[in-house]
Structure 1
Amino acid sequence: MFKQPPLSGFEALFASRAAHLSADDIRQFPDLSPDMLTRHAKWFGLSGEHLVDSILLRFGIYTSQLPEMLPADRIVYHPDGDLRLQIKTCCRSRNGYFHFSLTKGYHRSPTGVKSYAPDDFDIVALVALSENVVKFTADRHQSHRIALSEIDSLRTDPCSSLERAVKDLSLSAASVSIPAPTPAPVIDDGRGL
């Protein structure tokens, strides 16, 4: 029976390393190197999602988190209808703007970067994380931005952009984006319920 001798160096290559985030690594946020921002992008994205939840909850609007493999991040239970929400987070401004790309996927993933399908979501939440503000929009352009001059108004009235986005969708109480579950049929067997 053959036995493969170990090859020096492969042990370290295949050793599992737990993803570890030290608070010291990111304590200087947003003044981090591009490499550090990229390395912890999932953490910052999750922070953006929780900021959106927090803002909406403060105004009595509930959300539900969706599984990561779906194109929308949240269901927003708005009084005018249930909305599928996509959340995009930018950590810091560049040239006076926070820039957002409305694409899904990652450049290094097997499927690459793709555009969203028209029915993937209803509205977008653009999170300027270093400023702790969110701008909602129903605009489907692939590129978005928040000007630094908008920050004060977004902070003063956090839900005004949400109401504009909902109005842009022309939602009414009768038309909702997410269909309600259909109840199971009740069969009357003559004995009563």
Structure 2
Amino acid sequence: MSPSLNQVSGFPALVDYPHVSGRVRAQEAKRIGAAGERLVDSYLIRWGFHPFEAPESEPFDRLFLVSDHLLRMQVKTVTYPKGRAYLFPMEQGHTKCVGGRHKYAHGAFDIAALVILPEDAIYFTSEMRGIHRVAISELPHPAAQARNARAAFGSGHWHSIPCRARQRCRPAPCRNGKPHRRGRDDHAR
């Protein structure tokens, strides 16, 4: 049996991703997050958008225009399910930093892109929750991601992403032209 590529001298620890240890995932968390952001960029560019990387200090990762409205997108990336679902805690910061981890402030971003990296899947949502849960059975098919994005991007007063696939998510109901912000009790899907 031949050795995995990460056992061969000179190859990066992530070369066998997603078949890497939890230790490697933890050590390479920034790279894994960057890979998730690049996957989102890839889809946004394919759909005709021009995403801009936000400064590290901002509570969002990407900026882009939709019908003359500047949208702020937070990208969260996971690498494995917990039970029968992928969980996305909507927190910022790092446990090893002075400020630690904390929830995002209300209105810190407009859209969340929830990346399931081993599946190359993205679930877009405008729902503001403390934690998002995507069941393994609900993984968006690549062709459905455009519809999913349209629902999320169109939850306010933006309606400009063409798509043909079946819709996979329901945006939060709107009130007065703005997305309804869900309360603490609305975290479970």
Q: Tell me the distance in 1 between the aligned counterparts of 2:68 and 2:133.
A: 26
Alignment deviations for residues 32-65 of structure 1 (CA, whole Å, 9 cap, x no partner)? 2111100000000000000000011111122100
Shift of 1:156: 2.0
Decide which moves more: 138-147 or 124-133. 138-147
- Separation (CA, whole Å) in 2 of partners of 1:66 and 1:100: 20
Aligned counterparts of 1:170 and 1:79: Cα–Cα separation in 2: 9
CA–CA distance in structure 2, aligned partners of residues 164 and 78 of structure 1: 13
Number of equivalent positions: 153
Give, in whole Å, the separation in 1 of the partners of 2:11 and 2:111: 33
Change (3 A) 1:96 1:23: farther
Corresponding residue of 1:163: 150
- Which residue of structure 2 lines up, in the alignment, with residue 79 of structure 1? 67
Residue 170 and residue 107 in structure 1: after superposition, are their counterparts in 2 closer, same or farther (change >3 A)? same
Indicate whether 1:154 and 2:141 are aligned.
yes
1:107 aligns with 95
Structure 1 Cα separation of the partners of residues 11 and 42 of structure 2: 22
**Structure 1 segments (4+ residues) deviating >4 Å:** none
Measured in 2, the distance between the counterparts of 1:172 and 1:135 equals 18
Which deviates more, 66-75 or 153-162? 153-162
Contact 2:67 2:159 in 1 (8 A): no
Map residues 18-167 of structure 1 onto 2, 5 A cutoff: 23-79=11-67, 81-151=69-139, 153-167=140-154
Which consecutive unaligned segments of at least 5 residues does structure 1 have? 1-21, 176-193
The answer (yes or no) to whether the contact 2:67–2:158 under 8 Å persists in 1 is: no
State the Cα RMSD in Å: 2.1
CA distance, structure 1, for counterparts of residue 124 and residue 159 of structure 2: 18
1:160 counterpart letter in structure 2: R
Cα displacement string for residues 59-114 of structure 1 (whole angstroms, at most 9, x for unaligned residues): 11221001111111010222362200000000122322211110001111100111
Kindly indicate whether structure 1 or structure 2 has the higher relative contact order, using CA contacts under 8 Å at least 6 residues apart.
Answer: 1
* SS of aligned partner of 2:23: helix
TM-score normalised to structure 1 length: 0.73
Aligned to 1:189: none
CA distance in 2, matches of 1:27, 1:110: 32
Per the alignment, in what secondary structure is the counterpart of residue 158 of structure 1? helix
Segments of structure 2 that go 5 or more residues without pairing to the other structure are 1-9, 161-176, 178-189
The structure with more radius of gyration: 1
- Distance in 1 between residues matched to 2:154 and 2:66, nearest whole Å: 12
Tell me the amino acid that sits aligned with residue 153 of structure 2: V
Within 2, Cα distance between the matches of 1:116 and 1:128? 21
SS of the counterpart of 1:159?
A: helix
| Distance (Å, rounded) in 1 between the aligned partners of 2:103 and 2:155 | 21
After superposition, the C-alpha distances for 1:138-165 in whole angstroms (9 at most, x for unaligned) are 11111112222222x4312222121111
Is the Cα contact below 8 Å between 1:90 and 1:99 reproduced in 2?
yes
